[in-house]
Amino acid sequence: MKLVSWNVNGIRACVKKGFMDYFNEMDADIFCIQETKLQEGQINLDMPGYYQYWNYAIKKGYSGTAVFSKMKPLQVRYGLDLEKAEVCEPEGRVLTLEYEDYFLVNVYTPNSQRDLARLPFRLDWEDRFLAYIKMLDQEKAVILCGDLNVAHTENDLKNPKSNRNNSGFTEEERGKMTRFLGEGFTDTFRHFYPDQKDKYTWWSYMNKVRERNIGWRIDYFIVSDRLKDSLKDAEIHSEIFGSDHCPVVLEWNK
């Protein structure tokens, strides 16, 4: 199986920059996107052979996630609170597709913001999200993908010293990731490339930052530990433009 995840930073803009060319070229079994930035009816993507599932934010032009799957899931869940997703998770940040042998979870983790004003909210989110994933994992294996808005280790960003305690690289956020992985989950890229440097998934729009590869690795595929021996490869397609993020890919011998 081939799975793709990409923060498109606005799917309507990304489509104008070649999204469908990449989508068709990859021919993925499951393709997940984050930060769709639209409401229902604002785009019509021609994807023969795919089921489309969208979780829209209530706020217009903000957040949102979507999954395009060749296989019809047994069930689709929206948000973390299954009873009142639109009330408790109004930003459309989580989509869960249940298949026979596993759950696929697509997530766009809240940013703690430049001044860390949203850090308390973010840390509470991390606790609730981990509890949700552990609940799923007790039933069947989990494949989690998306923009997690954290560079876990110093190898995951270009300038760790100057970014220490900045949003996405605070001790608190990195600690939550360490705890998450310690609960029985594997960062698939680090599984294959434990010491790899200079492989990033996000770059600022500042002048020549991407050209000079001054980036962060904040987009992930994370799986239940019991799946790691069946993984084939994890890739970062940094040559693909269209967003300030690039796609990440997981190949899995299901």
Would you name the residues annotated as active-site residues?
Answer: 108, 147
Beta bridge partners of 146: 107, 220
160 burial level (CB within 10 Å; 0-12, 13-18, 19+):
middle
CB 95 within 8 A of CB 105: yes
- For the four alpha carbons of 136, 176, 65 and 92, in that order, the dihedral sign comes to positive
Does an H or E element contain 68, and which? strand 65-69
H helices present in the chain, as ranges? 11-15, 19-26, 85-88, 119-139, 160-163, 171-182, 188-192
CA atoms within 13 A on the CB side of 17: 14
Cα-only R_g, the chain? 17
Q: What spatial distance separates the first Cα and last Cα of the chain, rounded to whole Å?
A: 6
Phi/psi at 163 (nearest 5 deg)? -105, 0
